[in-house]
Amino acid sequence: MSDDHDDSPIAARVRELEAILEEKGLLDAQELDRALEAWTHRASPANGFRVVARAWVDDGFRARLLQDANAALPEIGLSMGGGLQPQQLHVVENTERVHNVIVCTLCSCYPIALLGPSPTWYKSPAYRSKVVSHPREVLAQFGLTLPETTEIQVWDANAESRYLVLPRRPENTEHLTEDELTKMVTRNGLIGTAAV
């Protein structure tokens, strides 16, 4: 069984279910731990960086990503699979007029496979409540000041849907390769709390 000591009601239910399945011989706790460890080892912000860099250099991929991210991800060897339930990834694109930011107001739903483990601030009640009601203030706390004319859209993730921000490509980067562009992307940029 997992050594996670999360005291949330969901975590308690998961621990109970694990214990029942172990007792019935339907679950090998060590096998489950190995599978989870392998999955989290592959989960990295570098995956999200690759997605963005490809979208910046390949307009066809960008269009497919925005239309159906789950279908586009396998083109670069990634997927939203590996979790306990299927998750739909929605990619939202920052433009000159619209800036997107991601939150999960209920808990901390987040595309771990593409962004790695979520930052502590993402799970905090302060971020989760304030970014919805005062997104401009929250972004300013992260050092991101947007023009008043920029619309800010806040996307609320949940158990079935995850979000990833496609940041605007930095100016004067036309000469850079996809690999070089990958190094410019940040996890906060993919959440929307930073520009790239």
Q: Mean pLDDT throughout 98-124?
A: 92
Q: Which amino acid is at 158?
A: N
List pLDDT tens digits, range 140-189. 999 999 999 999 999 999 988 999 999 999 999 999 999 999 999 999 99
109 given a catalytic annotation? yes
118 given a catalytic annotation? no
Encoded tokens for 156: 């609320």
104 given a catalytic annotation? yes
Annotated active-site residue in 104, 118, 133, 161:
104
Confidence band for 85, pLDDT divided at 50, 70 and 90: low
Q: Global pTM?
A: 0.80
The CATH number of the structural domain formed by 45-191 is 3.90.330.10
**pLDDT of res. 1:** 32
For the chain, give every domain's residue range: 9-41, 45-191
Torsion of CA 10, 11, 13, 16, to 10 degrees: 180
Annotated active-site residue in 44, 79, 108, 161:
108
Q: Which amino acid is at 170?
A: P
Asked whether residue 40 carries a pLDDT value surpassing 70, the answer given is no
108 given a catalytic annotation? yes
Confidence band for 78, pLDDT divided at 50, 70 and 90: very high
Across the chain, which distance is largest between two alpha carbons, in Å? 61
Annotated active-site residue in 107, 124, 133, 161:
107
